[in-house]
Chains A and B, each alone.
Chain A
Amino acid sequence: DGGITQSPKYLFRKEGQNVTLSCEQNLNHDAMYWYRQDPGQGLRLIYYSQIVNDFQKGDIAEGYSVSREKKESFPLTVTSAQKNPTAFYLCASSLGDRGENTEAFFGQGTRLTVV
């Protein structure tokens, strides 16, 4: 059963803590993405990766970090430098080329709350 798996579904973070959100895909996609979703603001790109061991900052990368050591995995760390981390985080992947099958596929999301 192919797809993208995000874990955990709900995550609570104390002030000053770093937390890591997991994203795994078995679609053999080259490109992976992290988006943040806040009410009324749509999706904002945090980081994306087009290939293993490479990634680029998106529009709101400050306070976040990522790694891409394996094709299947693209974990996101929310650091203590992120001042307002409470949000819904979505991971996505795509084939990463200009062909017909260019759409992104999304995981079910992780809801992060600062307590």
Chain B
Amino acid sequence: AQSVAQPEDQVNVAEGNPLTVKCTYSVSGNPYLFWYVQYPNRGLQFLLKYITGDNLVKGSYGFEAEFNKSQTSFHLKKPSALVSDSALYFCAVSDPYNFNKFYFGSGTKLNVKP
């Protein structure tokens, strides 16, 4: 079965420090990988995706993510966190045999303190 794990319910970081939000997946084949952000009582906003090619992908708002096939990970990173980055972050994968099916992690709450 396809699955996505976000091992940390919450990540705390000081403003200006680098941040990492972890994601690992268990999917057969070569899935597409995504990161989304959700602000309170809002829908999810797309941040970035990995399809193929360079393992480091850049996305919106200065975020980037590194795909590691051997570790089946797709960690979200940002060199310098902002207070406004505080939100709920979701990792997702698409089923390589049905790209219309997405599997989401349980979410990681990012708290950036001034």
Contact = CB atoms under 8 A, between A and B. Distances in A.
B108 to A, nearest CB: 10
Contact residues of A: prevailing secondary structure: strand
A2 interface: no
A113 to B, nearest CB: 13
**Most chain A beta-carbon neighbours within 10 Å: one of B44, B94, B104, B107:** B44
Contacts of A50: 100
Contact of B44 (A48, A90, A96, A111): A90
B44 A42 contact: no
B46 A103 contact: yes
Interface in A58-115: 88, 90, 92, 94, 96-98, 100, 102-109, 111
B8 interface: no
B46 A105 contact: yes
A90 B104 contact: no
A100 B106 CA distance: 25
Q: Determine the main DSSP class of B at the interface with A.
A: strand
Contacts of B46: 103-105
A42 B99 contact: no
Interface in B54-111: 90, 92, 94, 99-102, 104-107
B44 A106 contact: yes
A57 B32 CA distance: 22
A43 interface: yes
A42 B106 contact: yes
Given A97-B99, A106-B44, A108-B43, 16 more contacts: A6-B43, A35-B104, A42-B106, A42-B107, A50-B100, A90-B43, A90-B44, A94-B100, A96-B100, A100-B51, A103-B46, A103-B49, A106-B43, A108-B42, A109-B41, A109-B43
Cβ-closest 10 pairs across A and B? A106-B43, A42-B106, A43-B104, A106-B44, A31-B100, A108-B43, A42-B104, A103-B46, A98-B99, A50-B100
Interface of A: 4, 6, 31, 33, 35, 40-43, 45, 48, 50, 88, 90, 92, 94, 96-98, 100, 102-109, 111
